[in-house]
């Protein structure tokens, strides 16, 4: 789907989430065929003409100014992440003849991030690509998030675990999170942001299609077009090896936002959760902690 197709769907979905009473609009008991605000009501709130808003929502206008988009974002009560996503979807494509789209190459672990991952041994950490494929993990990262999977899975592109797929389709991962819906919404929100940045990525589209077909929960969450830039979040977990714990997951992304992300899990110092994380150092078996992830090995002189 193109960005402008996504823009139309995003505007329609978010308009449908606003009720007349949310904005102090009296309806006098009238029945509405569909929930949410009408286009003309949203246009009035944004201070733009109803025909222009209709063209924008139908994907027929591609030159909306930043001021107009900000007015629509305010009317829709979007937060900062959702506002940025709206601007991304409305960005006009570059002019000129479109070049053939090559099939995306498999993502790889940059040596610098691999070295950083090795330096974090002792703290659970994983490296994920833009489609949430696991490119690498350290001993504790593997033990915390996917101890039931092959430790060497990320080393081969065709066998890499996918965290979004695991959250929705893997019973072990689902059971890890006490509040699974919160984790699921974070995964969907981040995938929405990625789809806005890479609307022509066939592998991402295939992942979304697979999850939509096999998970009713994903299909429902995907349809409401909620955006969630989840850089830091606390999650209560129930780990099959070390028991209950609460971790803070931090996602560290490059400033450009186009490279792999490093996800690190920490716990409050001295807490039972911190003790549980330390126990994960022994979950991978003898010698595992000393083995660096592929891509972090020192190069021969």
State the distance between the two ends of the chain, measured CA to CA, in whole angstroms. 47
User: For residue 283, what are the contacts with CB-CB under 8 A and spacing of at least 6?
Assistant: 139, 140, 143, 147, 241, 242
Cα–Cα distances (Å) from 16 to 10, 20, 130, 188, in that order, read 10, 10, 29, 19
CATH classification code of 111-290: 3.30.450.180
Q: Percent of the chain at pLDDT above 70? A: 82
pLDDT single digits (tens) 40-59? 888 888 888 888 888 888 87
If pLDDT is split at 50, 70 and 90, which confidence band does 87 have?
confident
- Where do you find CATH 1.10.260.40 in the chain? 3-24+34-90
Q: What is the pLDDT of residue 29?
A: 56
Buried b (16+ CB within 10 A) or exposed e, 55-85: ebbebebeebeeebbbbbbebbebeebbbbb
Which pair of tokens denotes residue 256? 């450009």
Q: Tell me the per-residue pLDDT of 145-183, one tens digit each, with 9 for 90 and over.
A: 999 999 999 988 888 999 999 999 999 999 999 999 999
Domain with CATH 3.30.450.180 in the chain: 111-290
Run of H or E including 7: helix 3-16
For residue 255, what pLDDT band results from cuts at 50, 70 and 90?
low
Indicate the pTM of the whole model. 0.77
Q: What is the pLDDT of residues 68-86, one digit of tens each?
A: 899 998 988 888 888 888 8
Q: How high is the pLDDT of residue 14?
A: 86
How confident is the model at residue 92, as a pLDDT?
Answer: 59
pLDDT digits (tens, 9 = 90+) for 220-250: 999 888 877 778 999 999 999 999 999 999 9
Which pLDDT value is given to residue 115?
A: 92
Compute the mean pLDDT over every residue in the chain, rounded to the nearest whole number. 83
Query: Which of 181, 204, 176, 203 minimizes the C-alpha distance to 192?
Result: 204
Backbone angles phi, psi at 150, to 5 degrees: -60, 130
296 or 195, higher pLDDT: 195
**pLDDT-derived band of residue 16, with 50, 70 and 90 as boundaries?**
confident
Q: How far is the C-alpha of 261 from the C-alpha of 255, rounded, in Å? A: 11
Q: Name the token pair of 296.
A: 């972090």
Question: For residues 193 and 124, which has the higher predicted lDDT (pLDDT)?
Answer: 124
> Is residue 188 a contact partner of residue 167, using CB atoms and an 8 Å limit?
no
DSSP at 254 = -
Query: Tens digit of pLDDT for each residue in 261-293?
Result: 999 999 999 999 999 999 887 755 444 444 555
The domain defined by 3-24+34-90 carries CATH number 1.10.260.40: yes
């Amino acid at each position: 789907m193109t960005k402008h197709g996504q823009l139309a769907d995003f505007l329609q979905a978010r308009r449908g989430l606003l009720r007349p009473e949310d904005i102090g609009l009296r309806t006098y008991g009238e029945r509405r065929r569909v929930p949410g605000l009408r286009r003309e009501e949203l246009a009035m709130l944004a201070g733009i003409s109803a025909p222009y808003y209709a063209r924008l929502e139908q994907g027929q206008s591609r030159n909306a100014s930043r001021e107009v988009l900000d007015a629509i974002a305010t009317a829709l009560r979007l937060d900062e992440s959702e506002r940025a996503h709206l601007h991304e979807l409305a960005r006009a494509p570059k002019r000129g003849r479109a070049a053939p789209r090559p099939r995306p190459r498999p993502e790889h672990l940059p040596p610098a991030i691999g070295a950083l991952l090795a330096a974090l041994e002792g703290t659970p950490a994983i490296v994920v690509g833009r489609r949430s494929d696991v490119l690498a993990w350290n001993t504790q990262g593997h033990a915390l998030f996917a101890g039931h999977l092959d430790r060497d899975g990320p080393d081969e592109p065709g066998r890499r675990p996918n965290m979004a797929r695991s959250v929705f389709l893997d019973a072990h991962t689902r059971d890890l999170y006490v509040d699974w819906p919160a984790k699921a919404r974070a995964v969907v929100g981040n995938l929405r942001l990625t789809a806005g940045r890479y609307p022509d990525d066939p592998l991402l589209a295939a992942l979304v299609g697979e999850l939509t077909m096999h998970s009713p929960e994903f299909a429902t969450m995907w349809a409401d077009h909620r955006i969630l830039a989840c850089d830091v979040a606390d999650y209560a977990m129930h780990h099959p090896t070390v028991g209950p714990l609460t971790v803070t997951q931090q996602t560290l992304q490059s400033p450009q936002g186009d490279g792999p992300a490093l996800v690190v899990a920490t716990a409050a110092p001295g807490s039972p959760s911190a003790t549980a994380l330390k126990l994960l150092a022994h979950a991978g078996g003898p010698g595992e902690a000393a083995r660096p992830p592929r891509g972090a090995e020192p190069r021969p002189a």
